[in-house]
Structure 1
Amino acid sequence: MMNFSETDFLIILSTFIILIVVLMMIAIYGVFIKKKSELLLTQKIKETTFEQELANSQVEIKEQTLNYVGQELHDDLGQKLSVARLMTNKIALAGEAEKEAIAREINLLIGECIQDIRNLSKVFITEQVAHFGFIESLEREIFRIKRLRLMEVNYKIIDHDVQIHSTHALILFRIVQECINNVIKHSKSHCLELIVKDEEAQVKIEINDRGIGFDTNIDEDGSGLKNMASRAKIINADFQIKSSENKGTNVLITYNK
Protein backbone atom coordinates (compact mmCIF):
# COMPACT_ATOMS: atom_id res chain seq x y z
CA MET A 1 0.00 0.00 0.00
CA MET A 2 1.38 3.38 -1.13
CA ASN A 3 1.72 5.95 1.58
CA PHE A 4 1.44 9.68 0.72
CA SER A 5 3.24 12.09 2.88
CA GLU A 6 1.76 15.51 3.65
CA THR A 7 4.21 17.05 1.16
CA ASP A 8 3.08 14.71 -1.59
CA PHE A 9 -0.53 15.50 -0.85
CA LEU A 10 0.13 19.25 -1.04
CA ILE A 11 2.00 18.82 -4.33
CA ILE A 12 -0.90 16.83 -5.84
CA LEU A 13 -3.46 19.33 -4.53
CA SER A 14 -1.45 22.28 -5.84
CA THR A 15 -1.05 20.61 -9.23
CA PHE A 16 -4.80 19.94 -9.37
CA ILE A 17 -5.63 23.54 -8.45
CA ILE A 18 -3.18 24.90 -11.02
CA LEU A 19 -4.70 22.61 -13.64
CA ILE A 20 -8.21 23.83 -12.79
CA VAL A 21 -7.07 27.47 -12.94
CA VAL A 22 -5.38 26.91 -16.31
CA LEU A 23 -8.49 25.19 -17.69
CA MET A 24 -10.65 28.05 -16.42
CA MET A 25 -8.34 30.60 -18.04
CA ILE A 26 -8.47 28.69 -21.32
CA ALA A 27 -12.28 28.58 -21.10
CA ILE A 28 -12.48 32.32 -20.31
CA TYR A 29 -10.10 33.10 -23.16
CA GLY A 30 -12.20 30.97 -25.49
CA VAL A 31 -15.38 32.82 -24.48
CA PHE A 32 -13.57 36.15 -24.91
CA ILE A 33 -12.39 35.21 -28.40
CA LYS A 34 -15.88 34.05 -29.32
CA LYS A 35 -17.49 37.27 -28.05
CA LYS A 36 -14.86 39.35 -29.83
CA SER A 37 -15.51 37.46 -33.08
CA GLU A 38 -19.26 37.97 -32.69
CA LEU A 39 -18.79 41.70 -32.06
CA LEU A 40 -16.50 42.03 -35.08
CA LEU A 41 -19.01 40.13 -37.22
CA THR A 42 -21.88 42.33 -35.97
CA GLN A 43 -19.85 45.46 -36.68
CA LYS A 44 -18.99 44.17 -40.15
CA ILE A 45 -22.66 43.46 -40.86
CA LYS A 46 -23.58 46.98 -39.69
CA GLU A 47 -20.91 48.53 -41.90
CA THR A 48 -22.01 46.43 -44.89
CA THR A 49 -25.66 47.35 -44.30
CA PHE A 50 -24.76 51.03 -44.01
CA GLU A 51 -22.70 50.95 -47.23
CA GLN A 52 -25.57 49.20 -49.01
CA GLU A 53 -28.12 51.75 -47.83
CA LEU A 54 -25.77 54.57 -48.80
CA ALA A 55 -25.39 53.11 -52.30
CA ASN A 56 -29.17 52.61 -52.60
CA SER A 57 -29.79 56.21 -51.53
CA GLN A 58 -27.32 57.51 -54.10
CA VAL A 59 -28.97 55.49 -56.86
CA GLU A 60 -32.48 56.60 -55.83
CA ILE A 61 -31.44 60.26 -55.73
CA LYS A 62 -29.95 59.96 -59.22
CA GLU A 63 -33.17 58.37 -60.48
CA GLN A 64 -35.19 61.16 -58.86
CA THR A 65 -32.89 63.70 -60.50
CA LEU A 66 -33.37 62.16 -63.94
CA ASN A 67 -37.16 62.19 -63.47
CA TYR A 68 -36.99 65.83 -62.45
CA VAL A 69 -34.81 66.77 -65.42
CA GLY A 70 -37.15 64.92 -67.76
CA GLN A 71 -40.14 66.84 -66.41
CA GLU A 72 -38.31 70.16 -66.66
CA LEU A 73 -37.19 69.53 -70.24
CA HIS A 74 -40.70 68.54 -71.32
CA ASP A 75 -42.87 70.91 -69.29
CA ASP A 76 -40.75 74.04 -69.07
CA LEU A 77 -37.85 74.27 -71.50
CA GLY A 78 -39.75 72.50 -74.26
CA GLN A 79 -42.70 74.87 -73.98
CA LYS A 80 -40.53 77.99 -73.89
CA LEU A 81 -38.55 76.93 -76.96
CA SER A 82 -41.79 76.07 -78.80
CA VAL A 83 -43.11 79.56 -78.07
CA ALA A 84 -39.81 81.09 -79.21
CA ARG A 85 -40.04 79.11 -82.46
CA LEU A 86 -43.60 80.30 -83.11
CA MET A 87 -42.58 83.88 -82.44
CA THR A 88 -39.63 83.49 -84.82
CA ASN A 89 -42.04 82.42 -87.57
CA LYS A 90 -44.10 85.56 -86.96
CA ILE A 91 -41.17 87.89 -87.61
CA ALA A 92 -41.36 87.39 -91.38
CA LEU A 93 -45.00 88.62 -91.43
CA ALA A 94 -44.62 91.40 -88.86
CA GLY A 95 -44.01 95.10 -89.37
CA GLU A 96 -40.82 96.85 -88.24
CA ALA A 97 -42.19 97.98 -84.87
CA GLU A 98 -43.71 94.58 -84.18
CA LYS A 99 -40.49 92.81 -85.22
CA GLU A 100 -38.59 94.70 -82.56
CA ALA A 101 -41.11 93.73 -79.85
CA ILE A 102 -41.07 90.06 -80.96
CA ALA A 103 -37.26 90.05 -80.97
CA ARG A 104 -37.23 91.35 -77.39
CA GLU A 105 -39.67 88.63 -76.34
CA ILE A 106 -37.59 85.94 -78.05
CA ASN A 107 -34.45 87.30 -76.38
CA LEU A 108 -36.14 87.14 -72.95
CA LEU A 109 -37.34 83.57 -73.59
CA ILE A 110 -33.88 82.44 -74.67
CA GLY A 111 -32.39 84.11 -71.60
CA GLU A 112 -34.83 82.20 -69.38
CA CYS A 113 -33.96 78.95 -71.17
CA ILE A 114 -30.24 79.55 -70.61
CA GLN A 115 -30.85 80.17 -66.89
CA ASP A 116 -33.04 77.06 -66.69
CA ILE A 117 -30.29 74.99 -68.29
CA ARG A 118 -27.77 76.34 -65.76
CA ASN A 119 -30.12 75.42 -62.92
CA LEU A 120 -30.60 71.94 -64.37
CA SER A 121 -26.86 71.43 -64.72
CA LYS A 122 -26.47 71.86 -60.96
CA VAL A 123 -28.70 68.88 -60.19
CA PHE A 124 -26.31 66.59 -62.07
CA ILE A 125 -23.61 67.02 -59.44
CA THR A 126 -22.99 63.42 -58.32
CA GLU A 127 -22.69 64.07 -54.59
CA GLN A 128 -25.46 66.65 -54.31
CA VAL A 129 -25.86 66.55 -50.53
CA ALA A 130 -22.10 66.46 -49.91
CA HIS A 131 -21.61 69.40 -52.29
CA PHE A 132 -24.48 71.66 -51.26
CA GLY A 133 -25.07 70.44 -47.70
CA PHE A 134 -28.19 68.94 -46.18
CA ILE A 135 -30.20 72.16 -45.77
CA GLU A 136 -29.48 73.56 -49.22
CA SER A 137 -30.34 70.20 -50.76
CA LEU A 138 -33.69 70.33 -48.95
CA GLU A 139 -34.28 73.86 -50.20
CA ARG A 140 -33.48 72.77 -53.76
CA GLU A 141 -36.03 69.98 -53.40
CA ILE A 142 -38.63 72.49 -52.23
CA PHE A 143 -37.75 74.80 -55.12
CA ARG A 144 -38.33 71.85 -57.49
CA ILE A 145 -41.79 71.22 -56.04
CA LYS A 146 -42.74 74.90 -56.27
CA ARG A 147 -41.31 75.24 -59.77
CA LEU A 148 -43.33 72.29 -61.04
CA ARG A 149 -46.37 73.61 -59.13
CA LEU A 150 -46.94 70.22 -57.51
CA MET A 151 -48.30 71.74 -54.27
CA GLU A 152 -47.93 74.62 -51.85
CA VAL A 153 -44.97 74.21 -49.50
CA ASN A 154 -44.53 75.96 -46.15
CA TYR A 155 -40.91 75.64 -45.12
CA LYS A 156 -39.41 76.67 -41.79
CA ILE A 157 -35.87 76.15 -40.54
CA ILE A 158 -34.54 77.40 -37.22
CA ASP A 159 -30.82 77.27 -38.11
CA HIS A 160 -29.27 76.95 -41.57
CA ASP A 161 -25.90 75.84 -40.17
CA VAL A 162 -26.93 72.25 -39.39
CA GLN A 163 -23.94 69.98 -38.83
CA ILE A 164 -24.57 66.41 -40.06
CA HIS A 165 -21.97 63.92 -41.29
CA SER A 166 -22.11 63.90 -45.11
CA THR A 167 -22.86 60.16 -45.46
CA HIS A 168 -25.56 60.35 -42.77
CA ALA A 169 -26.92 63.50 -44.42
CA LEU A 170 -27.30 61.67 -47.72
CA ILE A 171 -29.42 58.89 -46.19
CA LEU A 172 -31.37 61.40 -44.07
CA PHE A 173 -32.07 63.52 -47.16
CA ARG A 174 -33.31 60.44 -49.02
CA ILE A 175 -35.71 59.59 -46.16
CA VAL A 176 -37.12 63.14 -46.22
CA GLN A 177 -37.31 63.08 -50.02
CA GLU A 178 -39.22 59.79 -49.95
CA CYS A 179 -41.66 61.22 -47.37
CA ILE A 180 -42.25 64.26 -49.58
CA ASN A 181 -42.78 62.08 -52.66
CA ASN A 182 -45.33 60.00 -50.73
CA VAL A 183 -47.23 63.19 -49.85
CA ILE A 184 -47.22 64.28 -53.51
CA LYS A 185 -48.28 60.88 -54.85
CA HIS A 186 -50.73 59.59 -52.26
CA SER A 187 -51.98 62.24 -49.83
CA LYS A 188 -54.17 64.30 -52.22
CA SER A 189 -53.10 67.27 -50.13
CA HIS A 190 -52.68 70.75 -51.62
CA CYS A 191 -50.24 71.82 -48.92
CA LEU A 192 -47.08 70.40 -47.35
CA GLU A 193 -45.34 71.72 -44.23
CA LEU A 194 -41.64 71.06 -43.60
CA ILE A 195 -40.01 72.15 -40.32
CA VAL A 196 -36.33 71.63 -39.42
CA LYS A 197 -35.20 72.28 -35.84
CA ASP A 198 -31.48 72.15 -35.01
CA GLU A 199 -31.13 71.46 -31.29
CA GLU A 200 -28.01 70.90 -29.20
CA ALA A 201 -28.01 67.09 -29.39
CA GLN A 202 -30.60 66.45 -32.11
CA VAL A 203 -31.95 67.57 -35.46
CA LYS A 204 -35.73 67.26 -35.71
CA ILE A 205 -37.45 67.20 -39.09
CA GLU A 206 -41.23 67.37 -39.21
CA ILE A 207 -43.31 66.78 -42.35
CA ASN A 208 -47.06 67.47 -42.28
CA ASP A 209 -49.80 67.32 -44.87
CA ARG A 210 -53.55 67.92 -44.84
CA GLY A 211 -54.43 65.00 -47.05
CA ILE A 212 -56.60 61.92 -46.85
CA GLY A 213 -54.34 60.13 -44.38
CA PHE A 214 -54.38 56.40 -43.77
CA ASP A 215 -54.58 53.81 -41.04
CA THR A 216 -50.95 52.96 -40.20
CA ASN A 217 -52.05 49.60 -38.79
CA ILE A 218 -53.38 48.40 -42.14
CA ASP A 219 -51.06 50.31 -44.47
CA GLU A 220 -50.88 48.41 -47.75
CA ASP A 221 -47.49 49.86 -48.54
CA GLY A 222 -46.02 49.18 -45.12
CA SER A 223 -42.74 48.02 -46.64
CA GLY A 224 -42.00 51.64 -47.63
CA LEU A 225 -42.51 52.86 -44.07
CA LYS A 226 -40.42 50.00 -42.69
CA ASN A 227 -37.68 50.83 -45.18
CA MET A 228 -37.57 54.46 -44.03
CA ALA A 229 -37.60 53.40 -40.37
CA SER A 230 -34.74 50.93 -40.90
CA ARG A 231 -32.71 53.54 -42.76
CA ALA A 232 -33.27 55.99 -39.93
CA LYS A 233 -32.06 53.41 -37.41
CA ILE A 234 -28.84 52.87 -39.38
CA ILE A 235 -27.86 56.54 -38.96
CA ASN A 236 -28.89 56.74 -35.30
CA ALA A 237 -32.21 58.44 -36.01
CA ASP A 238 -35.79 57.79 -34.96
CA PHE A 239 -38.67 57.64 -37.46
CA GLN A 240 -42.24 58.17 -36.24
CA ILE A 241 -45.38 58.51 -38.31
CA LYS A 242 -48.91 59.42 -37.18
CA SER A 243 -51.87 59.40 -39.52
CA SER A 244 -55.59 58.85 -39.56
CA GLU A 245 -58.09 58.82 -42.38
CA ASN A 246 -59.13 62.28 -43.63
CA LYS A 247 -56.96 64.01 -41.00
CA GLY A 248 -53.61 64.11 -42.74
CA THR A 249 -50.23 62.67 -41.81
CA ASN A 250 -47.44 63.75 -39.49
CA VAL A 251 -43.87 62.42 -39.81
CA LEU A 252 -41.21 63.19 -37.22
CA ILE A 253 -37.58 62.25 -37.88
CA THR A 254 -35.20 62.77 -34.97
CA TYR A 255 -31.51 62.55 -35.84
CA ASN A 256 -29.19 62.14 -32.85
CA LYS A 257 -25.91 63.95 -33.44
Structure 2
Amino acid sequence: MENIEENNLVIVSTATLLLVIFIMLFLYLIFLKKKTTLMLEQKEKDIWFEKELANTQVEIKEQTLNYIGQELHDDLGQKLSVVRLKHNQLLNKIEDAHHTELIELNELLGECIQDIRNLSKNLITEQIVHFGLIESIEHQVLRIEKLRLLHIDFSFNNHDVDIPAKHSLILFRIIQESLNNILKHSKAKEVKITITEDPNTLNIEINDNGKGFQIDHAQDGSGLKNMELRAKLLGASFKVISIPHTGTTTKIVYKKNISWNTYQ
Protein backbone atom coordinates (compact mmCIF):
# COMPACT_ATOMS: atom_id res chain seq x y z
CA MET A 1 0.00 0.00 0.00
CA GLU A 2 2.82 2.34 0.92
CA ASN A 3 4.57 1.57 -2.38
CA ILE A 4 1.45 2.51 -4.30
CA GLU A 5 1.19 5.81 -2.43
CA GLU A 6 4.86 6.52 -3.04
CA ASN A 7 4.44 5.73 -6.75
CA ASN A 8 1.41 8.03 -6.94
CA LEU A 9 3.35 10.76 -5.16
CA VAL A 10 6.23 10.36 -7.60
CA ILE A 11 3.83 10.48 -10.55
CA VAL A 12 2.07 13.60 -9.22
CA SER A 13 5.37 15.32 -8.43
CA THR A 14 6.75 14.45 -11.86
CA ALA A 15 3.59 15.65 -13.57
CA THR A 16 3.63 18.86 -11.55
CA LEU A 17 7.28 19.45 -12.38
CA LEU A 18 6.66 18.80 -16.07
CA LEU A 19 3.68 21.15 -15.99
CA VAL A 20 5.76 23.89 -14.36
CA ILE A 21 8.54 23.38 -16.92
CA PHE A 22 5.98 23.46 -19.74
CA ILE A 23 4.45 26.67 -18.41
CA MET A 24 7.87 28.29 -17.99
CA LEU A 25 8.85 27.20 -21.49
CA PHE A 26 5.58 28.55 -22.87
CA LEU A 27 6.05 31.88 -21.11
CA TYR A 28 9.65 32.05 -22.31
CA LEU A 29 8.55 31.47 -25.91
CA ILE A 30 5.94 34.21 -25.58
CA PHE A 31 8.55 36.56 -24.11
CA LEU A 32 11.04 35.69 -26.85
CA LYS A 33 8.43 36.28 -29.56
CA LYS A 34 7.43 39.62 -28.05
CA LYS A 35 11.05 40.66 -27.70
CA THR A 36 11.74 39.72 -31.33
CA THR A 37 8.68 41.67 -32.46
CA LEU A 38 9.77 44.75 -30.50
CA MET A 39 13.28 44.51 -31.91
CA LEU A 40 11.91 44.31 -35.45
CA GLU A 41 9.62 47.28 -34.82
CA GLN A 42 12.52 49.28 -33.39
CA LYS A 43 14.66 48.31 -36.39
CA GLU A 44 11.95 49.52 -38.75
CA LYS A 45 11.72 52.80 -36.82
CA ASP A 46 15.50 53.21 -37.02
CA ILE A 47 15.45 52.61 -40.78
CA TRP A 48 12.55 55.06 -41.21
CA PHE A 49 14.34 57.67 -39.09
CA GLU A 50 17.60 57.39 -41.05
CA LYS A 51 15.71 57.54 -44.35
CA GLU A 52 13.80 60.64 -43.27
CA LEU A 53 17.01 62.20 -42.00
CA ALA A 54 18.70 61.60 -45.35
CA ASN A 55 15.72 63.10 -47.21
CA THR A 56 15.83 66.13 -44.94
CA GLN A 57 19.54 66.65 -45.59
CA VAL A 58 18.95 66.48 -49.35
CA GLU A 59 16.10 69.00 -49.15
CA ILE A 60 18.19 71.43 -47.12
CA LYS A 61 21.10 71.07 -49.56
CA GLU A 62 18.82 71.79 -52.52
CA GLN A 63 17.41 74.92 -50.88
CA THR A 64 20.89 76.01 -49.85
CA LEU A 65 22.19 75.66 -53.40
CA ASN A 66 19.24 77.65 -54.76
CA TYR A 67 19.88 80.36 -52.20
CA ILE A 68 23.60 80.45 -53.00
CA GLY A 69 22.82 80.81 -56.70
CA GLN A 70 20.54 83.77 -56.03
CA GLU A 71 23.04 85.38 -53.69
CA LEU A 72 25.91 85.00 -56.14
CA HIS A 73 23.81 86.53 -58.94
CA ASP A 74 21.94 89.27 -57.09
CA ASP A 75 24.16 90.28 -54.19
CA LEU A 76 27.81 89.36 -54.73
CA GLY A 77 27.50 89.94 -58.48
CA GLN A 78 26.33 93.50 -57.96
CA LYS A 79 28.97 94.25 -55.32
CA LEU A 80 31.78 92.91 -57.48
CA SER A 81 30.46 94.95 -60.41
CA VAL A 82 30.72 98.07 -58.27
CA VAL A 83 34.23 97.07 -57.24
CA ARG A 84 35.19 96.68 -60.88
CA LEU A 85 33.68 100.05 -61.78
CA LYS A 86 35.51 101.82 -58.95
CA HIS A 87 38.70 100.05 -59.87
CA ASN A 88 38.45 101.30 -63.44
CA GLN A 89 37.83 104.80 -62.15
CA LEU A 90 40.86 104.61 -59.88
CA LEU A 91 43.04 103.56 -62.77
CA ASN A 92 42.55 107.07 -64.13
CA LYS A 93 42.98 108.69 -60.71
CA ILE A 94 46.20 107.93 -58.94
CA GLU A 95 46.36 111.09 -56.84
CA ASP A 96 46.29 111.00 -53.04
CA ALA A 97 43.16 113.13 -53.08
CA HIS A 98 41.13 110.01 -53.82
CA HIS A 99 42.03 108.28 -50.54
CA THR A 100 38.33 108.19 -49.51
CA GLU A 101 37.41 106.15 -52.57
CA LEU A 102 40.12 103.64 -51.71
CA ILE A 103 38.61 103.29 -48.23
CA GLU A 104 35.16 102.70 -49.75
CA LEU A 105 36.63 100.09 -52.05
CA ASN A 106 38.30 98.36 -49.13
CA GLU A 107 35.02 98.30 -47.15
CA LEU A 108 33.15 96.86 -50.12
CA LEU A 109 35.71 94.13 -50.54
CA GLY A 110 35.37 93.38 -46.84
CA GLU A 111 31.60 92.93 -47.27
CA CYS A 112 32.19 90.55 -50.17
CA ILE A 113 34.64 88.49 -48.13
CA GLN A 114 32.17 88.28 -45.23
CA ASP A 115 29.36 87.25 -47.58
CA ILE A 116 31.53 84.52 -49.04
CA ARG A 117 32.27 83.26 -45.52
CA ASN A 118 28.56 83.20 -44.68
CA LEU A 119 27.78 81.28 -47.85
CA SER A 120 30.55 78.79 -47.16
CA LYS A 121 28.88 77.97 -43.83
CA ASN A 122 25.77 76.88 -45.70
CA LEU A 123 27.81 74.44 -47.79
CA ILE A 124 28.62 72.32 -44.75
CA THR A 125 26.82 68.98 -45.03
CA GLU A 126 25.21 69.14 -41.61
CA GLN A 127 25.02 72.81 -40.71
CA ILE A 128 22.91 72.02 -37.65
CA VAL A 129 25.78 69.97 -36.19
CA HIS A 130 28.12 72.93 -36.49
CA PHE A 131 25.84 75.88 -35.72
CA GLY A 132 23.01 74.40 -33.65
CA LEU A 133 19.25 74.75 -34.06
CA ILE A 134 18.94 78.36 -32.87
CA GLU A 135 21.75 79.79 -35.01
CA SER A 136 20.51 77.88 -38.07
CA ILE A 137 17.04 79.40 -37.60
CA GLU A 138 18.65 82.83 -37.22
CA HIS A 139 20.39 82.37 -40.58
CA GLN A 140 17.09 81.30 -42.14
CA VAL A 141 15.32 84.35 -40.70
CA LEU A 142 18.01 86.69 -42.08
CA ARG A 143 17.70 85.14 -45.53
CA ILE A 144 13.93 85.58 -45.56
CA GLU A 145 14.03 89.15 -44.24
CA LYS A 146 16.43 90.09 -47.06
CA LEU A 147 13.51 89.43 -49.41
CA ARG A 148 11.62 92.27 -47.63
CA LEU A 149 8.34 90.38 -47.89
CA LEU A 150 7.66 90.01 -44.18
CA HIS A 151 9.13 90.76 -40.77
CA ILE A 152 10.09 87.88 -38.46
CA ASP A 153 10.41 88.23 -34.70
CA PHE A 154 12.49 85.32 -33.38
CA SER A 155 12.81 84.82 -29.61
CA PHE A 156 14.22 82.01 -27.44
CA ASN A 157 15.23 81.44 -23.83
CA ASN A 158 18.36 79.35 -24.51
CA HIS A 159 20.78 79.74 -27.40
CA ASP A 160 22.39 76.31 -26.93
CA VAL A 161 19.44 73.93 -27.17
CA ASP A 162 20.28 70.62 -25.50
CA ILE A 163 19.00 67.99 -27.97
CA PRO A 164 20.73 65.59 -30.42
CA ALA A 165 21.96 67.17 -33.66
CA LYS A 166 19.94 64.74 -35.81
CA HIS A 167 16.77 65.77 -34.00
CA SER A 168 17.67 69.45 -34.48
CA LEU A 169 17.96 68.79 -38.21
CA ILE A 170 14.43 67.35 -38.38
CA LEU A 171 12.97 70.17 -36.27
CA PHE A 172 14.78 72.76 -38.39
CA ARG A 173 13.28 71.26 -41.53
CA ILE A 174 9.77 71.42 -40.02
CA ILE A 175 10.26 75.09 -39.12
CA GLN A 176 11.77 75.81 -42.53
CA GLU A 177 8.82 74.20 -44.31
CA SER A 178 6.37 76.15 -42.14
CA LEU A 179 8.10 79.43 -43.07
CA ASN A 180 8.04 78.48 -46.75
CA ASN A 181 4.28 77.87 -46.48
CA ILE A 182 3.85 81.31 -44.93
CA LEU A 183 5.81 82.93 -47.75
CA LYS A 184 3.93 81.08 -50.48
CA HIS A 185 0.35 81.00 -49.22
CA SER A 186 -0.40 83.20 -46.20
CA LYS A 187 0.19 86.77 -47.48
CA ALA A 188 1.35 87.53 -43.93
CA LYS A 189 3.40 90.60 -43.04
CA GLU A 190 4.39 89.61 -39.52
CA VAL A 191 5.68 86.28 -38.16
CA LYS A 192 6.69 85.43 -34.63
CA ILE A 193 8.81 82.36 -33.81
CA THR A 194 9.15 81.45 -30.14
CA ILE A 195 11.30 78.60 -28.81
CA THR A 196 11.16 77.80 -25.11
CA GLU A 197 13.29 75.06 -23.57
CA ASP A 198 12.89 73.49 -20.14
CA PRO A 199 14.47 70.33 -18.68
CA ASN A 200 11.84 68.03 -20.23
CA THR A 201 10.52 69.70 -23.37
CA LEU A 202 11.29 72.04 -26.24
CA ASN A 203 8.29 74.15 -27.22
CA ILE A 204 8.21 75.71 -30.68
CA GLU A 205 5.48 78.12 -31.75
CA ILE A 206 5.15 79.91 -35.11
CA ASN A 207 2.49 82.61 -35.47
CA ASP A 208 1.61 84.63 -38.57
CA ASN A 209 -0.99 87.31 -39.27
CA GLY A 210 -1.83 85.95 -42.73
CA LYS A 211 -5.13 85.06 -44.36
CA GLY A 212 -5.40 81.68 -42.60
CA PHE A 213 -7.17 78.65 -44.04
CA GLN A 214 -9.58 75.83 -43.29
CA ILE A 215 -7.53 72.95 -41.84
CA ASP A 216 -9.92 70.35 -43.29
CA HIS A 217 -9.48 71.83 -46.77
CA ALA A 218 -5.70 72.15 -46.67
CA GLN A 219 -4.04 71.09 -49.90
CA ASP A 220 -1.52 68.27 -50.01
CA GLY A 221 1.02 70.76 -51.36
CA SER A 222 1.01 72.61 -48.05
CA GLY A 223 3.18 69.87 -46.55
CA LEU A 224 1.22 69.74 -43.28
CA LYS A 225 1.04 65.95 -43.33
CA ASN A 226 4.75 65.71 -44.02
CA MET A 227 5.56 68.03 -41.12
CA GLU A 228 3.27 66.06 -38.83
CA LEU A 229 4.95 62.78 -39.78
CA ARG A 230 8.38 64.24 -39.11
CA ALA A 231 7.27 65.46 -35.71
CA LYS A 232 5.82 62.02 -34.94
CA LEU A 233 9.13 60.49 -35.92
CA LEU A 234 10.72 62.35 -32.99
CA GLY A 235 7.90 61.54 -30.60
CA ALA A 236 6.86 65.21 -30.74
CA SER A 237 3.35 66.60 -30.98
CA PHE A 238 2.37 68.79 -33.95
CA LYS A 239 -0.67 71.04 -34.07
CA VAL A 240 -1.85 73.72 -36.49
CA ILE A 241 -4.54 76.23 -35.54
CA SER A 242 -5.74 78.48 -38.36
CA ILE A 243 -8.56 81.01 -38.50
CA PRO A 244 -9.53 82.38 -41.93
CA HIS A 245 -8.66 86.10 -42.35
CA THR A 246 -6.88 86.07 -38.98
CA GLY A 247 -3.74 83.96 -39.12
CA THR A 248 -2.16 80.60 -38.36
CA THR A 249 -0.36 79.15 -35.34
CA THR A 250 1.86 76.08 -35.54
CA LYS A 251 2.84 74.38 -32.28
CA ILE A 252 5.49 71.68 -31.84
CA VAL A 253 6.22 70.08 -28.47
CA TYR A 254 9.39 67.99 -28.47
CA LYS A 255 9.65 65.70 -25.45
CA LYS A 256 13.31 65.27 -24.59
CA ASN A 257 13.13 62.12 -22.49
CA ILE A 258 11.04 60.18 -25.03
CA SER A 259 13.01 61.36 -28.01
CA TRP A 260 16.43 60.86 -26.41
CA ASN A 261 15.59 57.30 -25.41
CA THR A 262 14.20 56.48 -28.85
CA TYR A 263 16.88 57.87 -31.14
CA GLN A 264 20.34 59.12 -30.30
TM-score by length of 1: 0.87
Secondary structure of 1:5 counterpart: helix
**What is residue 218 of structure 2 aligned with on the other side?**
219
CA separation in 1, counterparts of 2:87 and 2:14? 106
**Counterparts in 2 of 1:19-168, with a 5 A limit?**
19-88=18-87, 105-168=104-167
Identity in percent? 51
CA separation in 1, counterparts of 2:173 and 2:187? 21
CA separation in 2, counterparts of 1:5 and 1:80? 109
Supply the AA of the counterpart residue of 1:213: G
Render the CA deviation track for 1:32-69: whole Å, top value 9, x for unaligned. 11011011111111211221222122212211211111
TM-superposed deviation, 1:102: 5.6
Q: Give the number of equivalent residue pairs.
A: 254
Secondary structure of 1:211 counterpart: coil
Secondary structure of 1:149 counterpart: coil
CA separation in 1, counterparts of 2:179 and 2:159? 20
1:173 is the counterpart of 2:172: yes
- Would the alpha carbon gap of residues 78 and 18 (structure 1) be closer, same or farther in structure 2, given more than 3 Å must change? same
CA separation in 1, counterparts of 2:10 and 2:169? 68
Secondary structure of 1:212 counterpart: coil
Counterpart contact for 1:134–1:164, Cα < 8 Å: no
Counterpart contact for 2:151–2:190, Cα < 8 Å: yes
Worse-superposed segment, 73-82 or 210-219:
73-82
Render the CA deviation track for 1:64-90: whole Å, top value 9, x for unaligned. 211111111122112222334445555
Secondary structure of 2:177 counterpart: helix
Across the aligned residues of Structure 1 and Structure 2, the Cα RMSD in angstroms comes to 2.5
Counterpart contact for 1:153–1:192, Cα < 8 Å: yes
- Would the alpha carbon gap of residues 248 and 62 (structure 1) be closer, same or farther in structure 2, given more than 3 Å must change? same
Counterpart contact for 2:212–2:242, Cα < 8 Å: yes
TM-superposed deviation, 1:109: 3.2
Supply the AA of the counterpart residue of 2:61: K
TM-superposed deviation, 1:182: 1.3
- Would the alpha carbon gap of residues 8 and 53 (structure 1) be closer, same or farther in structure 2, given more than 3 Å must change? same
**What is residue 260 of structure 2 aligned with on the other side?**
none
CA separation in 2, counterparts of 1:98 and 1:249? 58
CA separation in 2, counterparts of 1:26 and 1:206? 52
CA separation in 1, counterparts of 2:232 and 2:97? 63
CA separation in 1, counterparts of 2:83 and 2:160? 42
Unaligned stretches of 5+ residues in structure 2? 257-264
Secondary structure of 1:148 counterpart: coil
- Would the alpha carbon gap of residues 124 and 116 (structure 1) be closer, same or farther in structure 2, given more than 3 Å must change? same
Supply the AA of the counterpart residue of 1:172: L
Counterpart contact for 1:80–1:113, Cα < 8 Å: yes
- Would the alpha carbon gap of residues 136 and 92 (structure 1) be closer, same or farther in structure 2, given more than 3 Å must change? closer
Secondary structure of 2:58 counterpart: helix
